[in-house]
Amino acid sequence: MPRVLVVEDEQDIAGLIKHTLERTGDASVQTVGRGDEALRAVAELAPDLVILDLNLPVLSGTEVCRLLRQRPETARVPIIMLTARTSEGDRVSGLDLGADDYITKPVSLRELGARVRAVLRRGRGVDPARTHVYRGARLFADFDAVSITVDGFPVRLTRREFELLQFLVENRNRVLSRDRLLERVWGYDRFVETRSVDVHVGRLRSKLGAVGAQIETVIGLGYRFVDEPAAT
């Protein structure tokens, strides 16, 4: 059974979430009420999913998310932000920070359960046709090892930038629309605008240096990663 860590300082809400997910058999649930406790719990045993409030004592949910995404051992742990912050800016910021979903309070427990199942399905999905290693003249990417180098020098990417590059490389020489990138990389586009794709592509190009030119803008259509000769 999947393990879910609920990080919520309101004990009644945390208890309801735990009861709902365990009653339906979706997951076994551990609850903590502070940001620092969340980091300790994840370090002891990484969960299959974190449900994360943002307004937390000691360490904010935003900082918890940022730290989890920075650490290689937790960079791919799915995160659902569950918060009272409802502005579009908060939603976009949360998703750009690396959250897999962003849910505003109050939320029906039935909907929350559905969102949890959707995120867990995406996390378990394995596509045998996926590209695991890409070797070009200047770019080397080992997607299983989460390792990207350009001209032999390591490139540090955020989780979202990494997944964006992987999907572009897997579909190299094909044009991908912004909507398709949102659907595949973000996995959920209800609160995300296509301009977020443009921002991430810009950042990715910048970090890749000269290799960034291989990500072409196809005006009116989207983006395309152009293949290059393999290194000899």
8 A C-beta contact, residue 49 and residue 77: yes
User: What average pLDDT score do residues 147-163 get?
Assistant: 89
Helix 88-97, helix 61-70: angle, nearest 10:
30
Structure-token pair, residue 172: 């190299």
Pick the CATH number of 133-225 from 2.60.40.1220, 3.10.580.10, 2.60.40.1250, 1.10.10.10: 1.10.10.10
213: confidence class by pLDDT, cuts 50, 70, 90: very high
pLDDT tens digits along 44-77: 888 999 999 998 998 999 999 999 988 888 888 8
The helix/strand/coil state of 32 is strand
Closest CA to 82 of 22, 40, 122, 38: 38
Query: Is pLDDT at 232 greater than 50 in this prediction?
Result: no
Q: Strand (E) positions, 64-207? A: 79-83, 101-104, 133-135, 139-142, 147-150, 153-154
* CATH 1.10.10.10 domain position(s) in the chain: 133-225
What fold is seen in the domain 3-124?
Rossmann fold (3.40.50)
Cα of 74 vs its chain's centroid, Å: 11
Handedness of CA 51, 56, 57, 63 (dihedral sign): positive
Domain with CATH 3.40.50.2300 in the chain: 3-124
Read off the amino acid at residue 10: E
d(CA 15, CA 6): 9
Backbone angles phi, psi at 133, to 5 degrees: -140, 135
What's the pLDDT tens digit per position in 88-120?
A: 788 888 888 888 888 888 888 888 888 888 888
